[in-house]
Structure 1
Amino acid sequence: MIDPLYAFPVDATWTHDTTRVFVPIVAALVCFVAYWFTSISPQFKARFQRSHEGDEAATRHIFAIKFTGFVTMGLVPLAVCMAFIPEMGLADYGLTVIAETSLYSLAWTVGLCALVVPLASFSARKPKNLVNYPQNRATSWNRRIYMLNLLGWAIYLFGYEFLFRGILLFPLAETVGVWPAIAVNIALYSATHIPKGLDETLGAIPLGLVLCWLTLASGTIWIAFLVHVAMAWTNSLTALKHHPDIHYRPGT
Structure 2
Amino acid sequence: MNIPAWNPQYLEPILAFVLVTIGFSLYHFVSISPKIKNKYQGRFGAERGNTKFLWMTRYLGAMSIGVVPAIIMMMVMGKTPEDYGVAFKNHGTSLAWILGLATIIIPMNFFNSKKEKNLAFYPNVREKEWTKPMVATNAFTWVAYLFGYELMFRGLLLFATVPLLGEWPAIVLNAAIYALVHVPKNLEETIGAIPLGIVLCLITLTTGTFWVAFFVHITLALSNFFFSLKHHPEMKVI
SS in 1 for 2:225: helix
How far the C-alpha of 1:219 sits from its partner, in A, is 0.7
Q: Distance in 1 between matches of 2:65 and 2:7?
A: 26
Q: Distance in 2 between matches of 1:114 and 1:185?
A: 25
Q: How many residues align?
A: 238
Give the match for residue 76 of structure 1.
Answer: 68
Is 1:210 aligned to 2:199, yes or no? Answer: yes
Give the match for residue 97 of structure 2.
Answer: 108
Q: Which residue of 168, 172, 180 corresponds with 2:169? A: 180
Normalised TM-score (structure 1): 0.90
How far the C-alpha of 1:236 sits from its partner, in A, is 1.0
Deviations 1:33-71 (A, max 9, x none): 111111111122112111112543233222111101111
Is 1:197 aligned to 2:189, yes or no? Answer: no
Pair 109,118 (structure 1): closer, same or farther in 2 beyond 3 Å:
same
Give the match for residue 4 of structure 1.
Answer: none
How far the C-alpha of 1:123 sits from its partner, in A, is 1.4
Indicate conservation of the 8 Å contact 2:41/2:47, yes or no: no
Instruction: Show structure 2 runs of 5+ residues with no match.
Output: none
Give the match for residue 150 of structure 1.
Answer: 139
Indicate conservation of the 8 Å contact 1:55/1:140, yes or no: no
What RMSD, in angstroms, separates the aligned Cα atoms of the two structures?
Answer: 1.3
Instruction: Show structure 1 runs of 5+ residues with no match.
Output: 1-6
Is 1:244 aligned to 2:233, yes or no? Answer: yes
Q: Which amino acid aligns with 1:123?
A: N
Q: Which residue of 81, 84, 107 corresponds with 1:93? A: 84
When Rg is computed on C-alpha atoms for both structures, the one with the higher figure is 1
Q: How does 1:9-24 map to 2 (within 5 A)?
A: 9-10=2-3, 12-24=4-16
Deviations 1:7-54 (A, max 9, x none): 5x34x2222211022111121122111111111111221121111125
Q: Distance in 2 between matches of 1:54 and 1:247?
A: 19
% identity of equivalent residues: 37
Indicate conservation of the 8 Å contact 1:59/1:145, yes or no: no
Q: Which amino acid aligns with 1:109?
A: I
Indicate conservation of the 8 Å contact 1:55/1:139, yes or no: no
Q: Distance in 1 between matches of 2:237 and 2:197?
A: 33
How far the C-alpha of 1:79 sits from its partner, in A, is 2.6
Normalised TM-score (structure 2): 0.95
Q: Which residue of 47, 54, 74 corresponds with 1:62? A: 54
- Runs of 4+ aligned residues of structure 1 deviating over 6 Å after TM superposition are none
Is 1:121 aligned to 2:110, yes or no? Answer: yes
How far the C-alpha of 1:109 sits from its partner, in A, is 0.5
